[in-house]
Chains A and B, each alone.
Chain A
Amino acid sequence: MTELICIVCPRGCHLKVDEENGFSVTGNSCPRGAEYGRAELTNPTRVVTSTVRVEGALHPRCPVKTNVPIPKKLVFEAVRALNGVCLEAPIAAGQIVVKNVCGTGADFIATRNLERR
């Protein structure tokens, strides 16, 4: 039995996951908590957010995120994949910045608009 705090939403339910019983979850207030509890002990994943360089915009950095969660053990490698990337304004939110991050199938996408100036 493992105790976890669900991080899917700010409510932060205290979960108990039973590894011996097919990773059944108790303590969750909604189905997403059960899914999180199971995934956290079998294949934990995270959405990764960071920034990349951008030229010709109001700011020198553009925020990005992975469009889907990636395996937790690849988080550092994913951030390294952003080193040396430089975008050119204008940027549209949702625009792909790095495709198929570390072979996970996830893409880094821009999370804001940045006009050219």
Chain B
Amino acid sequence: MLDLIVIGGGPAGLAAACSAWEGGAKNIVIVERDRELGGILNQCIHNGFGLHYFQEELTGPEYAGRFIRMLKSTGVEVRLDTMVLDVTEEKEVHIVSAAEGYRVLRAKAVILAMGCRERARGAISIPGSRPAGIFTAGAAQRYVNIEGRMVGSRILILGSGDIGLIMARRMTLEGAKVLACVELMPYSGGLNRNIVQCLQDFGIPLYLSHTIVDIKGNARVEQVTIARVDARRKPIPGTEKIFNCDTVLLSVGLIPENELSKKAGIRLDRRTNGPVVCENMETSVPGIFACGNVVHVHDLVDFVTAESQRAGAAAAEYIARGERPGCDVLELTNGDGVAYTVPQRIRRSGVKKSAEVFFRVSRVCGRSTLCVRCGDGDIAEFKRDHLAPGEMEHIVLPKALLEKCGSGNLTISVKEVSHD
């Protein structure tokens, strides 16, 4: 029997495995379906990673490289080119690889670190014909950055998520013409810095409150029509604009990859599409932990690392000491203006010095107060100058504070003080 199986060798799996090793777990295996470690970071060749964790600005491959080096100094075993097919509540992990065929591994604990996948055209139902030339931005990123193949020459981007913005710049530098970035919402889904350095730097227009209403083309995309949308996000007739282009990139959101979690009978949260987790990243199945984009979509890898280190340390503790009683539970709920929280549950006995809570707001706000309410009293307030759905927020709740509040629910909400 192994101590720990980590599913996924991206930044989440790497950090979790290193921390579990440091925490005393010894028989650890990382299972990764790709030919190399590093996950999505291998294709994110731009810089902007590691400012929090390493205090310097690294590219994705450099950030991954540092953790791969750290992992090499441990005794963690890595199985590449190996796909996990199934995980059970009993912590049996079914794997398959070309080299060894089908096998079942057993462990005392499991960490889920499978990352997320991109929403594709089907998930957002774009009208029009079905020619070639429509890619998710992440797939295009892989073709261009890893395989060295261009995906098109006149490009329209639907959705202003970070991957789409990063690809707007990348394709421009590679000689393509990026005609516009079109966003359904009245605000961008990506980081402000990416709007500036990926669109504005190159004079690429951003159409907010717009969507694609038609795609024309026989074999390949030839023409795309966009239109402004009203407050109910319905296209407004007469506002159409036509672009002649050969490629559409979709950057319309990421979904945590939880097929395996479902099979293991793990409780999922409808708001995050990821597992419900406790303060130490344990799921509803004792001994199965989750971290990184499989839990909720992160915009900063530094937070993935921090969260995964917590999961790794907690798994090591679980392996050493077995199940921990989880009776004294605070349930976290999202109040006005908050879309979700991670963790969703805090077991007070499991909190060391403090509990970190991550969340996203559901609308753009100016100067605001984040209120933490327990029962009918506010127990803490945090000030922010600016809040946006594209930027993950986090607050730290000290143990002393959690002990003061009674039992029941903690609600986090936003009160806007002034709009910018």
Counting contact residues on chain A (CB < 8 A from B), the size range is: 20 to 34
State whether B173 touches A75 (Cβ < 8 A): yes
Question: CA separation between A111 and B420, bound complex, in Å?
Answer: 39
For A14, the closest partner residue in chain B by CB is: B386
* In-complex Cβ contact of A60 among B35, B147, B173 (8 A): B147
Instruction: Name A5-20 residues within 8 Å CB distance of B.
Output: 5-10, 12, 14
State whether B47 touches A65 (Cβ < 8 A): yes
> Is A26 in contact with chain B by the CB < 8 A criterion?
no
* In-complex Cβ contact of B197 among A46, A65, A79 (8 A): A46
Contact segment of B59-67, B151-159, B210-218: B59-67
State whether B299 touches A49 (Cβ < 8 A): no
Nearest Cβ distance between residue B63 and chain A, in whole angstroms?
A: 10
Question: CA separation between A66 and B271, bound complex, in Å?
Answer: 40
State whether B299 touches A10 (Cβ < 8 A): yes
> Is A72 in contact with chain B by the CB < 8 A criterion?
yes
> Is A112 in contact with chain B by the CB < 8 A criterion?
yes
State whether A10 touches B48 (Cβ < 8 A): yes
State whether A10 touches B51 (Cβ < 8 A): yes
For A52, the closest partner residue in chain B by CB is: B148
**Residues A59 and B146 in contact in the complex (CB < 8 Å), given A12-B193, A112-B61:** yes
Nearest Cβ distance between residue A65 and chain B, in whole angstroms?
A: 6
Q: How many residues of B are in contact with the other chain, CB < 8 A? A: 33
* In-complex Cβ contact of A5 among B62, B65, B192 (8 A): B192
State whether B145 touches A63 (Cβ < 8 A): yes
Question: CA separation between A93 and B386, bound complex, in Å?
Answer: 38
**Residues A5 and B195 in contact in the complex (CB < 8 Å), given A65-B47, A65-B59, A79-B173:** yes
For B66, the closest partner residue in chain A by CB is: A93
* In-complex Cβ contact of B148 among A4, A5, A6, A60 (8 A): A60
**Residues A58 and B35 in contact in the complex (CB < 8 Å), given A5-B193, A113-B65:** yes
Question: CA separation between A48 and B145, bound complex, in Å?
Answer: 14
> Is B242 in contact with chain A by the CB < 8 A criterion?
no
* In-complex Cβ contact of B196 among A5, A48, A58 (8 A): A5
> Is B100 in contact with chain A by the CB < 8 A criterion?
no
**Residues A12 and B148 in contact in the complex (CB < 8 Å), given A50-B173, A65-B59:** no
State whether B62 touches A112 (Cβ < 8 A): yes
Question: CA separation between A23 and B35, bound complex, in Å?
Answer: 50
Nearest Cβ distance between residue A79 and chain B, in whole angstroms?
A: 5
> Is B46 in contact with chain A by the CB < 8 A criterion?
yes
| List of A residues within 8 angstroms of B45 by Cβ | 49-51, 63, 65, 111
Instruction: Name A37-74 residues within 8 Å CB distance of B.
Output: 46-51, 53, 58-61, 63, 65, 72
State whether B146 touches A61 (Cβ < 8 A): yes
> Is B417 in contact with chain A by the CB < 8 A criterion?
no
State whether A112 touches B65 (Cβ < 8 A): yes
| List of A residues within 8 angstroms of B90 by Cβ | none
State whether A9 touches B51 (Cβ < 8 A): yes
Question: CA separation between A93 and B391, bound complex, in Å?
Answer: 31
For A53, the closest partner residue in chain B by CB is: B148
**Residues A61 and B148 in contact in the complex (CB < 8 Å), given A12-B191, A51-B45:** yes
| List of A residues within 8 angstroms of B61 by Cβ | 63, 93, 111-112
Question: CA separation between A51 and B36, bound complex, in Å?
Answer: 18
Most chain B C-beta atoms within 10 Å of own C-beta, residue among A10, A47, A58: A10
Nearest Cβ distance between residue B153 and chain A, in whole angstroms?
A: 16
Question: CA separation between A46 and B35, bound complex, in Å?
Answer: 32
What are 22 A-B contacts with C-beta separation under 8 Å? A4-B196, A9-B51, A10-B48, A10-B193, A12-B191, A12-B192, A12-B193, A14-B386, A47-B47, A49-B47, A50-B173, A51-B145, A58-B36, A59-B146, A60-B147, A63-B59, A75-B173, A76-B173, A111-B65, A112-B42, A112-B61, A112-B65
> Beyond the given A61-B147, A113-B65, could you list 10 further A-B residue pairs with CB under 8 A, ordered by the A residue number?
A5-B195, A7-B193, A8-B193, A10-B193, A10-B300, A49-B47, A51-B145, A51-B148, A79-B174, A112-B61
